[in-house]
Amino acid sequence: MTGRTHFLLFQPLLQSKPDALVPALFISMRVRIKYHDKDLPRLKQAHEGEWFDMFAAENCQIRYGETHMINLGVSIELPDGYEAIIAPRSSTHKHFGIMCVNGIGIIDNAYKGDNDVWHFPAIGCKGFYDALGLLHAETAIIHKGDRICQMRIQRCQPEIEFDEVDFLGNADRNGLGSTGKR
């Protein structure tokens, strides 16, 4: 595909009522990607709307409690008005003993140079507590080509202006977690 990958993006459209959404539509978009390692698996989407798995472009070891920016081996030119979200896969902790340091990563479309290589900010959390409550820390081992995180491209949040008021005029919900457990 000569340095291009095909992305399908979810794009909700508003009806005449500003708070009502029409059924989901998928549009096709072409996005330029540079692979810094020719042996790295190519990004692909199994089904429309799914996130893209991303792969480690290096071998690394991350000790318990230490952080490391894992090289993902790609630079991507996001279209104007779009951003990318990078998050761990649901099995990242189980398989590798790492988590994303800050929950998710957000990459804006200004980060698009040839050497703006994407990374996954990881913290080592592999270990276990024994019957006495002692932590047995282990080292997480990541191999080049391991699927360690996922990425989604989405529209940027629109420009928002806040109108300051003294009262909102809505019923109170009684705090966080007020809807119960079930």
Q: Which residues are catalytic?
A: 108
Q: How far apart are CA 122 and CA 141, in angstroms?
A: 12
Per the structure block, which two tokens stand in for 85? 């979200």
Report the C-alpha gap between 43 and 23 in whole angstroms: 27
Find the DSSP H helices in 48-117: 92-96
User: What distance in Å separates the CA atoms of residue 159 and residue 152, rounded to the nearest whole number?
Assistant: 21
User: Do 63 and 139 form a contact (C-beta atoms < 8 A)?
Assistant: yes
The CB density around residue 51, as the number of other CB atoms within 10 Å, is 16
CA torsion sign for 104, 110, 113, 115 is negative
Burial 96-134 (b: 16+ CB within 10 A, else e): bbbbbeeeebebebebeeeeebbbbbbbbbbeeeeeeee
